[in-house]
Amino acid sequence: MGIQNHALHVGVRNRNGSPVNQVRIRVWVAPWPQGANAPDWEPAAWAANTGSWSEVPNSPSPWRNILSNKERRFGPFKLPHQRGRYLVLAAVLCAEDECNINPDLAQPAPTAAFPSPLIDLVPGDNNLGLKVYNVP
């Protein structure tokens, strides 16, 4: 994940031996003032775009296919321009390897159904990325 000029680009690499189809990216941001605890992932807030996390305006991305052992870049995703410090959470959604927060699934993982600390959510899932974003 890279941020430049208030825009996020996400690179997704297919390490599978065959192509993966219908891959898309969803991106959320949450304000994170200096000295505050990181906000939990809150699926109810996600669904209503209220609370700590908000989905960025041009998320989810269009569906794309990724060939075997290739990488595709997704974005740019528009990030806030307002001064402040934010957390940016990006999720790769793909039927062949679902992330653990995909709320579109009929039976999402427990972490998609209940608030979860980021320390538990992100490190165990190779389809999630987290970045600190500062706007001076």
Judged by phi (left if over 0) then psi (alpha if -120 to 50, else beta), residue 17 lies in alpha
**CA neighbor of 55 nearest in space, from 90, 28, 77:** 28
For 130, the domain range is 2-135
- For residues 57-84, give the mean pLDDT: 94
- Please state the domain count of the chain: 1
**pLDDT for the residue 72:** 95
Do 119 and 87 contact (CB within 8 A), yes or no? no
Secondary structure of the chain in the HEC alphabet? Answer: CEEECCEEEEEEECCCCCCEEEEEEEEEEEECCCCCCCCCECHHHHHHCCCCCEECCCCCCCCEEECCCCEEEEEEEECCCCCEEEEEEEEEECCCCCCCCCCCCCCCCHHHHCCECHHHHCCCCCCEEEEEEEEC
Q: Residue 74: which CATH number?
A: 2.60.40.10
pLDDT tens, residue by residue, 79-126 = 999 999 999 999 999 888 888 887 677 666 766 677 888 888 888 889
**Residue 52: its pLDDT value, please?**
80
- Say whether pLDDT at 53 is over 80: yes
How many angstroms separate the Cα of 62 from the Cα of each of 11, 30, 55, 109, 132?
Answer: 14, 23, 15, 23, 24
Of the pLDDT bands very low, low, confident and very high (cuts 50, 70, 90), residue 41 is confident
